[in-house]
Amino acid sequence: MKVYQTNEIKNIAILGSSGSGKTTLAEAMLYEGGVIKRRGTIDAGNTVCDYFPVEKEYGYSVFSTVFSVEWQNRKLNFIDCPGSDDFIGGAVSALNVTDTALMVLNAQYGVEVGTINQFRYTEQFNKPVIFIVNQLDNDKADYDGTVAQLKDRYGSKVVQIQYPVNTGTAFNAVVDVLKMKMYRWKPEGGVPEVLDIPAEEIDKATELHGILVEAAAENDDLLMEKFFEEGSLSEDDMRAGISAGLIVRGMFPVFCVCAEKDMCVRRTLEFLGNVVPTVDRMPHVRTSDGEDVAPDPDGPASLFFFKTTIEPHIGQVSYFKVISGKVKEGDDLLNADRGSKERIAQIFSVAGQTRSQISEIVAGDIGVTVKLKDVRRGNTLNGKGIDYTFDFIKYPNPKYRRAIRAVNESEAEKMSELLTRMREEDPTWLVEQSKELRQTIVSGQGEFHLRTLKWRLEHNEKIAIEFFEPKIPYRETITKSARADYRHKKQSGGAGQFGEVHLIIEPYYDGMPAPDVYRFGGQEYKMSVRDTQVIDLDWGGKLVFVNCIVGGAIDTRFLPAILKGIMARMERGPLTGSYARDVRIMVYDGKMHPVDSNEISFMLAGRNAFSTAFKEAGPKILEPIYDVEVSVPADYLGDVMSDLQGRRAIIMGMNSEKGYEKLLAKVPLKEMSTYSTSLSSIAGGRASFVMKFASYELVPADVQDKLLKAYEESKEED
């Protein structure tokens, strides 16, 4: 492959719901571009884009796949993205390093929830969108209904470039209102006949051509003047206007294809080659410091690594975009994130797992290299004189979590290493070694997402694992003040142990006034504050430790030991062993022994006094509450709302969005364990949700009773 310049390169993401035919479209594009000699199929497991074993096993895309097609002296870099919402990370990465999105729709189903979700990301990243209506040969194909849905949701910006003459098994022709020609294919597809538009279609084609001309003119002042003067635009003028409209998201063109039969794929590539904006015409990337970086091939070299995979017999394969400058084989660059030097030994252009070596790659292009020493996804490599870093890829929060362990305990360490490596390939997997829960927690976007991880560990790495429901990170707190004292005394020959601590605890909130007077059992305790420590706890909330010792009852050198004992109990709360939070402690009295008092004595006395007081202070369990936003078709709203209420959800609001309802709720994390699967079942896979931590709130009394009982039973078993 030749070295293409920045003004000859176009980067395009292929998006769409599962089953829309993205991978089949990619296969047809590779065939039409001469990259492959024969088109593979998903059923046969021999497509270019779905080449990992897990993808062949399940029959759907798990990873985004990069491929390139040379067309009309342009290099078209594509990233075929998974359609399932469980693998949204691939689409997020792709949209950050591409300039245009092809949104593929299944003509049977029209605008699906996956379409809506992915379109939102194109809005977020301000990327041009072209709609591709696929599978027009299906008996249930409804092109007009699909276009109506698009216009209903996205308005008059949706403009048809083509429409099918007929749909269903007889589909073999489209009318192109940009070129004002009809394209007709033989059953094997490929190169079409280009014909005049039939008389029975000319009125419809003329009407749509007029709409297209006006839409193209709207995005360029000179074209608008020309349109007013002449009443029409040339084909070249229209291309220029459409291209300008794409850049500002002022137009969303609609194309027709039947990817499986290779019909209209060639014409789509022609449009992409002629009209889609090149890299140099798109907004510039900004560094982490907000510095604007133009895709200048003569600028300083800077490469951003957006994807890594681990492949057999090769090891780490690293995908990058050249943000600025150019890079040649043998160039030495500096990793701005890790401080290490790297040599780019080889550069490839790729089509799935097929790599073609190239000697140089310039700003705006996407390439691949292998066997780098210390480069991770998200890293930047720079040439001399610059220290650019880029952190523009932000991934969605996880929605499904499971505890994981190796069936064979001897493989636990190997499992942890593999999980860390696999997260490099898919950053929406989160792996946490939870000290609090004493579990390894794996979080992802859904049940399928984690099922895929399990399949890879068991089939590729031969490690048997099991998932189970993770513990919930509850918190413990108190609701009233309480007093306790504890004497630790131990004598076993020689020096003994002695420490006595008197303390008062109470609930704490920010801005609380200093302690004054307390009354317990008819006795008054007046506090004289000597010192206050406010400790921000790692797990949230605060511990406030107040020294109110008078008369030297306890030497100040023992106070850190008392605090240490209290902290140890805060880490294993008295109720359920969960972290405690938001407590103020006044140590106001105690006793020492001139010989036997030491740090361990006061640590134990402080811990036990705190534990006793905590249980008398109206202890309560707090649970994590999440903000949950559900997008669901209106037909399923009642069932989804009923299901949420059964999960102790508080419905905070709802609003309609063109056929879809958006539910906002606060839901305990405990109740979200199986929600991903349940929602899919209720709405037939047509709903989606996002969740984000909101706060800790008191659990209901009946739930607390169950938790206390379960904790006591677990201690008995231990």
Q: What is the pLDDT of residues 94-142, one digit of tens each?
A: 999 999 999 999 999 999 888 988 999 999 999 999 999 999 999 999 9
CATH 3.30.230.10 location in the chain: 476-618
Whether 157 has a pLDDT exceeding 60, the answer reads yes
CATH 3.30.70.240 location in the chain: 621-703
CATH 3.30.70.870 location in the chain: 400-471
Which CATH architecture describes the domain 621-703? 2-Layer Sandwich (3.30)
Q: Give the model's pLDDT for residue 227.
A: 74
Q: Give the model's pLDDT for residue 140.
A: 94
429-435-440-441 Cα dihedral, nearest 10 degrees: -40
Reading phi first (left if > 0) and then psi (alpha if -120 to 50, else beta), residue 494 is in left
Q: Does domain 285-382 have CATH number 3.40.50.10800?
A: no
296 CB-near residues (< 8 Å, 6+ apart):
6, 324, 325, 363
CATH pick for 400-471 out of 3.30.1490.20, 3.40.47.10, 1.10.3720.10, 3.30.70.870:
3.30.70.870
Reported confidence tier of residue 658, pLDDT bands at 50, 70, 90: low
Which tens digits make up the pLDDT trace of 419-453?
998 888 899 999 999 888 889 999 999 888 999 99
CATH fold, domain 476-618, is Ribosomal Protein S5; domain 2 (3.30.230)
Which CATH architecture describes the domain 6-281? 3-Layer(aba) Sandwich (3.40)
Whether 633 has a pLDDT exceeding 90, the answer reads no
| pTM of the predicted structure, to 2 decimals | 0.84
Between 82-91, 205-214, 633-642, 651-660, the lowest mean confidence (pLDDT) is in 651-660
Mean pLDDT of 360-387: 94
CATH 3.40.50.300 location in the chain: 6-281
Q: Give the model's pLDDT for residue 370.
A: 93
User: Is the CB of residue 132 less than 8 Å from the CB of residue 25?
Assistant: yes
CA distance 234 to 165: 24
Q: Widest CA span of the chain, in angstroms?
A: 113
First to last CA, the chain: 66
CA distance 63 to 82: 6
CATH 2.40.30.10 location in the chain: 285-382
DSSP annotation of 494 reads: S
Number of C-beta neighbours around residue 165 at 10 A:
18
Q: CB-side exposure of 327: number of CA atoms within 13 Å?
A: 34
User: Is the CB of residue 400 less than 8 Å from the CB of residue 445?
Assistant: yes
Place of tokens 């999960």: 647
Mean pLDDT of 511-531: 92
Q: Give the model's pLDDT for residue 717.
A: 62
Which tens digits make up the pLDDT trace of 484-494?
999 999 877 66
Q: Which two tokens stand for residue 561?
A: 């030991």
Residue 630 phi/psi, 5° resolution?
Answer: -110, 130
Whether 352 has a pLDDT exceeding 90, the answer reads no
Reported confidence tier of residue 42, pLDDT bands at 50, 70, 90: confident
Q: What percent of the chain lies above the pLDDT cut of 70?
A: 99
Q: How many helices (H) and strands (E) does the chain have?
A: 16, 40
